[in-house]
Every structure is written in C-alpha cells, then in structure tokens.
Amino acid sequence: MPIVVSSLNYTYMPGSTQEYKALTDISLTVRDGEFLGIIGHTGSGKSTFVQHLNGLIQPTSGTVSVDGFQMADKKQRIKGRALVGMVFQYPEYQLFEETVEKDIAFGPRNRGLSDKEISERVRESMELVGLQHETFREKSPFELSGGEKRRAALAGIIAMRPKYLVLDEPMAGLDPKGRKDILNTIRLLKKRTKCGIIMVSHSMDDIASEADRIAVFNGGRLERIGTPGEVFADSEALLKMGLDIPQVSRLALELRQRGVEVPEGLFKLEDMKDFLLRRLRRV
C-alpha cells in the first residue's frame, strides 16, 4: 500500500504576525518501492512536506495516510510512523551513544527486539552503509569522519527496517567521496530491499540517474510530477524556476541551440554517449 497525500496545506504559526503558508494544496502518492526524488528551490517547502510523511508535523488541512493508517489519528499514527524511516538533514548530530554499534542498536532495542535479532540488524545495516563491522563497531561515533558519521546515522534508521525511507538532502555538506558513499548505500538499499525511497536533493545528476519519478516543488506548490524523462524534457521550465538541470540536459540544450537535433528526454550520461557516438559515425 502507498503513502497517499491529499490536498495538503500547511501554515507555520497561523494567526501570528509571522504566519507563513509553506505548502499549498499538495496531492501525491508515493507508490510501493518507488524512488521518488524531490527537487525545488530553497524555501519551496520540501522539508516541510517530507516531515508530514511520518506525522512529525500535521497538515493545517488535508490528509496523509501511510499504508492506510491515517496520520491525523494518534493511534494510527504510531503504526504509520513505524513504517517510515526519516533521515533529517545533518543526521550525524543525532549520534549520541558511546559506540557505533550501540548507536545503531538503539532503535531496534527500543522496539524490544531480542539480542540476536538486534545484532543481526546491526551487522546487516553496517554492511549496507559500507562500515565494516569489526573495524567500526567499537569505535566512538565521534572518532568517525564526516561521511562515516552520516553513514552510521543512516545505518541506525535502516536497522529499523522501514518500508519507506525519507532522506532530506542526505549528501549536503559532504565531500565528493562522502557523497558517493551515501549514494552507493542508497543504491544498494534499493537493490537489496523493497524499500520505497523519498529523497530531497539539489543534485540533479543524482536524481536523474536514481529516481523513478520526480516531484518538483515551487513556492510551496507541487509544480509537476513525472518520470525523469518527463520532468527534464522541459529543462527550460526548470531553469526558469531557478533550478539546476542535469549536465546532460544542459549539453542537450546547447546542442539544440546549435542546430543539432537531440531527442527529447535525454538526460542520462550513457544515453547521451550512445546518441553522440551514433551521430559521429553518421558524419
């Protein structure tokens, strides 16, 4: 069953002088096992939106249901929330235990799982994030590099075996190696589990290569939603919204301006390479 968001509106501090309408009339469905990328300018409401998916904030109006559980209802929210793993921006600030292993075990322990089950989950999630169990389990989270800290935090969420994983700018502030490690983890997770992934990101190249569908937020509204092919086919609209586009789309635009007939919906490096090679052979 999916996550269904229906006519969602959200206003910060209603009735005060600082009242701010952050989300307007958002309706969308996150399908089982899909990778939904969320893009949009800073301040477009992406973080506000994803915090509704595990009931952390409640709509001012409209509804959110997770696999049929209504998130407005206190009892149902507990069940719905258990299905949604939430990785906030800079999750490493939430590491607090004395060892990496204890930190990752924290959530499963709180759920009352057996020691055997907990240690299996710790191993499994450390492997998924690429932190070798023997090397890292006894380390203090504070001894780790920035990228390792973030992967440890991610492992703590994965250990809860969520059905949906929400990642709010998971690569922000990391160096290229750190970014690649996180992206590899997300890829591996997608391959090994049936976890649905909802990822907010500014990296159009990552979103273009990973997402099944992309939701574009603009000024608190859902401007469009579709496959990467559909969304990046109108690269000019994205540029007008002040958004970046994948490097390949940028190249496609430039080639078109120079009179080369580049097919629509070409946004992946591999596809562009094939197209250019075919064309060069013709000349």
Ligand X SMILES: Nc1ncnc2c1ncn2[C@@H]1O[C@H](COP(=O)(O)OP(=O)(O)O)[C@@H](O)[C@H]1O
Q: How far apart are CA 78 and CA 30, in angstroms?
A: 19
24 binds, among ligand X, Mg ion, none (CB under 5 to 8 A by kind): none
Closer Cβ to ligand X, 45 or 107, answer by number: 45
CB of 45 to Mg ion, least distance (A): 8
H or E segment and range at residue 214: strand 213-218
Where are any strands of DSSP class E within 3-109?
A: 3-12, 20-30, 35-40, 61-66, 69-70, 84-87
Alpha carbon dihedral 268, 272, 273, 276, in 10-degree steps, equals 180
Closer Cβ to Mg ion, 21 or 133, answer by number: 21
Give yes or no for residue 47 binding Mg ion (CB under 5 A).
Answer: yes
The residue count of the chain comes to: 283
Give yes or no for residue 54 binding ligand X (CB under 6 A).
Answer: no
44 binds, among Mg ion, ligand X, none (CB under 5 to 8 A by kind): ligand X
Kindly state the tokens that stand for 78: 């507990």
Give yes or no for residue 76 binding Mg ion (CB under 5 A).
Answer: no
Closer Cβ to Mg ion, 47 or 63, answer by number: 47
Site for ligand X, residues 8 to 47, rule: CB under 6 A:
12-13, 20, 22, 40, 42-47
Q: Which residue in the block uniquely carries the two structure tokens 């973030």?
A: 150
On whether the CB atoms of residues 161 and 104 are closer than 8 A, the answer is no
Residues that bind Mg ion (CB under 5 A): 47
Residues that bind ligand X (CB under 6 A): 12-13, 20, 22, 40, 42-48
